[in-house]
Amino acid sequence: MLRAKCCFFCVLIENMTDPELLRARMQRWRLDGQPVRTLDDARAFLESVGFCLMYPMRPAVLVPTFMGAWVGADDKLPTRQHAYNDPRAKEATELMVRALRDRAAYEAPLIDENNAFLLAPSVFPYFYSLVGERNPKQPPTIGPRSPYSPLACDAFEIIRRRGPISKTKLGEMLGGAVSNAGLDRALSELWAKLRITRVDYTEEEGSVWDELSRWAPETRGRSRTSWQTSFPVRG
């Protein structure tokens, strides 16, 4: 099904003029004065584009952004580095967090961990099949070839037992000697293989993390089934 859709859109794009392609992109990316404002809007936008970044990048990358969809235009959008003093960024982030909380979106590390890469629920299983842990039921272990540090393994066990859990509380449970930078590295190691996922955010305690297989238990099965269905092996 996915392959058939891709072929259809490729043929459609080939038959479009440049102005028609630009108008279609502006409409689909919600840059046409029709901004995303509600949770249903956010869900529909993500399902329409499949994935997006939170903020535009410099130099520019041709990819939709949640910030642009919230504003409804692509003029003078804040980048991640300047979002702190732009009230539009705060409001867009609040809606993005609501989407994560409601499972209307999934977040993954890709280009920049500080610039959220958001995926629609229907697309996330495909992404997981490419980068996710192949055996998520087995806890991470340390070893010569392991991508996980001892701190990451300890953090995962706490998240598995006590999650969803905020970064602040996680740090407290790991002990006061753990630095903020060290904890960030440990969470990045787990997030890189989608062992965990960010599910919420509060100003008081920061990001809230949970084990992905618990937060979205259907992801692993759907990733295998949907990938095999869309791209069957031919003899």
Structure tokens, 25: 């992109």
CATH architecture of 132-218: Orthogonal Bundle (1.10)
pLDDT at 228: 46
pLDDT in tens, 147-194: 999 999 999 999 999 989 999 999 999 987 889 999 999 999 999 999
Phi, psi of 197 (to 5 degrees): -145, 150
Q: Provide the whole-model pTM.
A: 0.84
Cβ–Cβ under 8 Å, residues 40 and 5: no
How many other C-beta atoms can be found within 10 angstroms of the C-beta atom of residue 225? 13
Please state the domain extents for the chain. Answer: 2-122, 132-218
CB neighbours (10 Å) of residue 86?
16
Mean pLDDT of the chain: 86
Sorting pLDDT into bands at 50, 70 and 90, what band is 69? very high
